[in-house]
């Protein structure tokens, strides 16, 4: 009887094999600012730190990272982000993006 080499199962039709991820040298960056621009061929996402995210902003936003991608990859990213946000909201509640709706008004002390 011949020895059969074990081969990994092929992915189901329409599914791609996952790419290996090598985080060596990866430098995480925090961003509270994102700007989206683009051309007919590419989408450009700029990320940076806004030192004054609320109110009148006098300080410039320093863009520290730029992601340039095609629209197909952008749409896959959009779907992945949507799924991640949906899972988060199911576990922790709705994320309110309007800051004014998140702020709890201060109670005034009774006068007397």
What tens digit of pLDDT does each residue of 31-56 get? 999 999 999 999 999 999 988 877 77
**Is residue 24 scored above 90 in pLDDT?**
no
**Is residue 14 scored above 50 in pLDDT?**
yes
| Residue 9 domain-assigned (yes or no) | no
- Per-residue confidence (pLDDT) for residue 60, from 0 to 100: 87
Q: Which residues pair with 36 in a beta bridge?
A: 45
Taken as a whole, the chain contains a residue count of 112
Cα–Cα distances in Å, from 27 out to 57, 65, 86, 95?
28, 11, 27, 27
What's the pTM?
Answer: 0.65
**Is residue 21 scored above 50 in pLDDT?**
yes
| Residue 41 domain-assigned (yes or no) | yes
| Residue 73 domain-assigned (yes or no) | yes
In terms of residue numbers, what domain contains 54?
33-102
| Residue 20 domain-assigned (yes or no) | no
| Residue 1 domain-assigned (yes or no) | no
| Residue 94 domain-assigned (yes or no) | yes
Query: At 69, is the secondary structure helix, strand, or coil?
Result: strand
| Residue 110 domain-assigned (yes or no) | no
Is there a contact between 89 and 83 (Cβ–Cβ < 8 Å)? no
| Residue 88 domain-assigned (yes or no) | yes
């Amino acid at each position: 009887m011949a020895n059969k080499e074990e081969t990994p199962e092929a992915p189901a039709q329409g599914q791609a094999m996952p790419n290996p991820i090598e985080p060596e040298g990866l430098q995480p960056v925090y961003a509270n600012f994102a700007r989206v621009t683009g051309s007919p061929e590419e989408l450009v996402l700029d990320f940076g730190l806004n030192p004054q995210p609320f109110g009148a902003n006098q300080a410039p936003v320093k863009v520290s990272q730029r992601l340039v991608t095609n629209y197909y990859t952008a749409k896959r990213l959009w779907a992945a982000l949507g799924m991640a946000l949906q899972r988060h909201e199911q576990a922790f509640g709705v994320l309110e993006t309007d800051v004014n709706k998140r702020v709890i008004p201060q109670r005034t002390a009774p006068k007397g």
